[in-house]
Amino acid sequence: MSRTIIVSNRLPTKVQRTDDDLAFTPSEGGLATGLGSIYRAEGNVWIGWPGLVADDETERQQITTKLQADSMQPVFLNDDEIKGFYEGFSNETLWPTFHYFSQYAVYNEQHWETYVAVNQKFCDAVLEAAGDDDTIWVHDYQLLLLPQMLRKARPHSTIGFFLHIPFPSYELLRALPWRTQLLEGMLGADLIGFHTFGYMRHFLSSVSQLLGYPSQNGRLELKNRTVLIDAFPMGIDYERYANAAASEVAQEHEQNYLAALPNARIILSIDRLDYTKGIAQRLRAFELLLQRYPEWQGRATLIMLVVPSRDQVAQYQELKEEIDELVGRINADYRTITWNPIHYFYRSLPLEELTALYRMAEVALVTPIRDGMNLVSKEFIASKADRSGVLILSERAGAARELSDALLINPSDMNQLAEAMHEALEMPEEEQKMRLANMQALVQHYNVYHWTELFMNRLAYTKIKQMTLATE
């Protein structure tokens, strides 16, 4: 029987140490729900890092047993591996480069060596779990070398790869000392997926300029294999958000929040703490709105949820300080006894509280400087079934290719952003509903299950095609 093996750096379950026990909670992100139906199916498995350092053998065993019972296989990383592979090469080199922040990129040979070694560690774990006929689906920038490592060990395996972040222009990629190894690593797959055609184009251009492989209609002819490249914009579990937002618990939360903020016009911002998300720029634009349109002083209220992330990486620590300072200053400058301009939370929230915020917000500000897709924009839309609300969306998020009924803005243009907030707060309800309905139809249809099915079918087709060509 052919099985499916999912591989990503982070498992869909996060393990944390509590006072005298271990806590198993869902990881942030939409991937787990979308792939839930696949990896939990008979015999399938999801391989990845459980998110903590566990050097003690008994503890490892305890974690492994618990995860295995839910179709997961942990790959444990030690402190040096977390520093060199996760914080180092993945998040101080690849993440900034691929998001066009190459001024933040660190080029460190030791980090690279650890990245190679950890990709090999993942490879060993996959080979142990997978048979020759199994389909392997590798995810994201932490594992760019894995497809090729697997291909070497299992030349006939079916291997898919999906990149969840942008693929940058050749000019950015070429700055990396390890650029050819990274591209060759990805090319071990039979099918490589991106969120948008733009990322796919950048990838093909880099492959052509650095490796000399030409392509036609997304087909790359290597010396002895064909690799297909395509765009698969990822969706969310629409019903999960729509149902959670409509639930009694969420409505109760909403009533409580609204009672605490009488007459407020609510603008919402929700992100992982990351410099790619444009959080500081957004705060400055909100201040500009208050300056330019003083009628919003005393009324417009920004609820800003920032979810802690990668807090051992220097740039993230600096950004946290910058945001803390900005929020403090703007609130001090503008607040009155009865009105606080910014309500800032630095934590993650359970689904019902999150969807209560989506429900009550009149405007969602999703203004990343760069974002592979951005699922927050889609979650807001799903949570607004039969309601009104306006999405302000950055033209540099992958989601902007699909959500053309949002107010699309350039996230570095403070003026445009402040004007968009004013326009959103003044938009007639009928127009809000019409725009939302268009986007709801799209987000509901192209949900994460659709995305998974599309990718898996295409991967199966790619393999059949290769086999037919080989026998011709």
Residues that bind ligand G6P in the complex, under the rule CB under 6 A = 10, 29, 140, 164-165, 309-310
DSSP E strands in 179-264: the ranges are 191-194, 215-216, 219-221, 226-231
From CA 361, how far away is CA 353, in angstroms rounded? 12
CB of 86 to ligand G6P, least distance (A): 7
- Give me the catalytic one of 134, 274, 371, 405: 371
Nearest to 70 by CA among 40, 27, 42: 40
C-beta closer to ligand G6P: residue 29 or 298 = 29
Smallest distance, ligand G6P to C-beta of residue 377, A? 14
d(CA 94, CA 385): 37
Q: Which residue is nearest to ligand G6P (CB)?
A: 164
Report in angstroms how near the CB of residue 193 gets to ligand G6P at its nearest: 13
164 is catalytic: yes
Pairing of strands 22-26, 226-231: unpaired
> Is the CB of 320 or the CB of 422 nearer to ligand G6P?
320
Nearer to ligand G6P, 72 or 220 (CB): 72
Out of 139, 164, 195, 202, which one is annotated catalytic?
A: 164
**Can you tell me whether residue 222 is helix, strand or coil?**
coil
Q: 377 exposed, middle or buried (CB, 10 Å; 0-12, 13-18, 19+)?
A: buried
* Nearest approach, Cβ of residue 140 and ligand G6P (Å): 4
CB of 36 or CB of 341, closer to ligand G6P: 36
Neighbours of 448 (CB within 10 A): 23
Shortest Å distance, C-beta 320 to ligand G6P: 15
How would DSSP label each residue in 354-407?
Answer: HHHHHHH-SEEEE--SSBSS-SHHHHHHHHTTTS--EEEEETTBGGGGT-TTSE
Which residues lie closer than 8 Å to 181 by C-beta, 6 or more apart?
145
**164 vs 396 by CB, closer to ligand G6P:** 164
**Least CB distance from residue 229 to ligand G6P, whole Å?**
19
Q: Identify each DSSP E strand in 223-285 by its residue range.
A: 226-231, 265-272
Distance, in Å, from the CA atom of 11 to the CA atom of 52, rounded to the nearest integer, reads 11
Is residue 371 annotated as a catalytic residue, yes or no? yes
Comparing CB distances to ligand G6P, the nearer of 165 and 436 is 165
The type of residue at 75 is V
Parallel/antiparallel/unpaired status of strands 226-231 and 191-194:
parallel
What residues are labeled active site? 164, 371
